[in-house]
Amino acid sequence: MTYSLLARDPSTGDIGVAVQSHFFAVGRLVPWATAGVGAVATQSIVEPSYGSQGLELMSRGSRPQEALTQLVEQDSEAERRQVALMAADGTAVVHTGSSCIPAAGHTIDHGLSTHANLVESETVWPAMADAFRTAEGNLAHRMLAALGAAERQGGDIRGRQSAAMIVVRGTPTGQLAQDRVIDVRVDDATDPLDELERLVDHAEAFGGLLRMLETEGLLSGEHTADAALVRQALAELDTAQRTVGENNLEPTVWKGLLLARGGYETDAQHAFQRAIRVKPRTAELVRRLGRAGMWPGDPDTLEALLTPTDSRDMMKARQERSH
């Protein structure tokens, strides 16, 4: 009742799992992944413990085939399961039980496995593999291309409902927020693949913000970041803003704060005012960020940047008249 794939990006070492099904909240059952360990897709008459136990076995040193063999041997319903495991190095194994509802099958290669059951035809899983191999872009977008190819071959015979994607680092950094590159779910939607693509784009757009917040001297503490790092951060925030659109101006708020910290007060004021016009509470947000240590300078300077230029001119004129 599901089609999915496991894939590894040889250039980054990232490992991913992606899935679509006519089943509510498929993301809570089918996809599993841990940085530095690998990924699992467990489906058909789904048994989620294949995910947690498969990752646990691989984390303790079992190769994917050893882990899969152990899991299948202890499962009396194994012939109703479809399960794939991939280690961090791209080694993959798949079990498609003989009692999986047709059309059911899989492809397997180093760094890529595709699997499907209760789908329209036997062309679904080979089409996924072909699409992934020929697609351009990063791992997430190549997996999206594979899911799209499955849908064009008829996909789940019952239709569409939910989808999910997880991408993790092949080599862990020790920081969970950095090791889990993408983790998005569409639990119930008319077109889950379109929504999944939107969420992946947003996840990538905001992926750099946490890194910026954790970079000492960029958006917190004293401003010690060099010009090259600031330019890179500003470019990432501009890209994020274009991706999320005008209804969410949070990237512009952070851009304004970064500009203000760097001494670019006119540009900072323009950024703040753009956000304040859409959401007036932005001014209070920035004040609170300042009080939390993200503005190490004079609070009056920051307050001035939150005041529209015409209001500042009127205040200045009133002050001059009073004298």
Query: At 225, which amino acid appears?
Result: A
Rounded distance, CA 162 to CA 77, Å? Answer: 25
Q: What is the model's pTM?
A: 0.88
Residue 34 resides in a domain: yes
Count: domains in the chain = 2
Residue 17 resides in a domain: yes
151 and 294 part of one domain:
no
Residue 219 resides in a domain: no
3-state secondary structure of 186: strand
- Across the beta sheet with 105-109, what order do the strands follow? 105-109, 112-117, 2-8, 15-21, 162-168, 180-186
Name residue, tokens 């499955």.
Answer: 150
269 and 131 part of one domain:
no
146 and 273 part of one domain:
no
The CATH number for 284's domain is 1.25.40
Residue 23 resides in a domain: yes
Average pLDDT over residues 184-193: 97
47 and 93 part of one domain:
yes
- Decide if pLDDT at 321 tops 60: no
Residue 221 resides in a domain: no
143 and 270 part of one domain:
no
Residue 75 resides in a domain: yes
Residue 211 resides in a domain: no
* Long-range CB contacts (within 8 A, 24+) of 210-219: 210/177, 210/178, 211/178, 212/236, 212/254, 212/258, 218/258, 219/254, 219/257, 219/258, 219/261, 219/294
191 and 279 part of one domain:
no
The HSE-up count of residue 231 (CA atoms within 13 Å, CB side) is 3
The CATH number for 105's domain is 3.60.20.10
pLDDT in tens, 46-76: 999 999 999 999 999 999 999 999 999 999 9
Name residue, tokens 């639990």.
Answer: 187
Average pLDDT over residues 197-214: 88
Nearest-5° angle of CA 51, CA 204, CA 53? 10
pLDDT in tens, 164-182: 999 999 999 888 878 999 9
53 and 165 part of one domain:
yes
140 and 22 part of one domain:
yes
Domain residues for the domain of 299 are 227-319
Residue 70 resides in a domain: yes
Cis geometry, peptide bond prior to residue 103 (ω within 30 degrees of 0)? yes
175 and 272 part of one domain:
no
Question: Which range, 28-37, 235-244, 305-314, has the best average confidence (pLDDT)?
Answer: 28-37
199 and 240 part of one domain:
no
239 and 189 part of one domain:
no
151 and 295 part of one domain:
no
* Long-range CB contacts (within 8 A, 24+) of 70-79: 75/47, 75/50, 77/45, 77/47
Which strand (E) or helix (H) includes residue 69?
helix 64-73
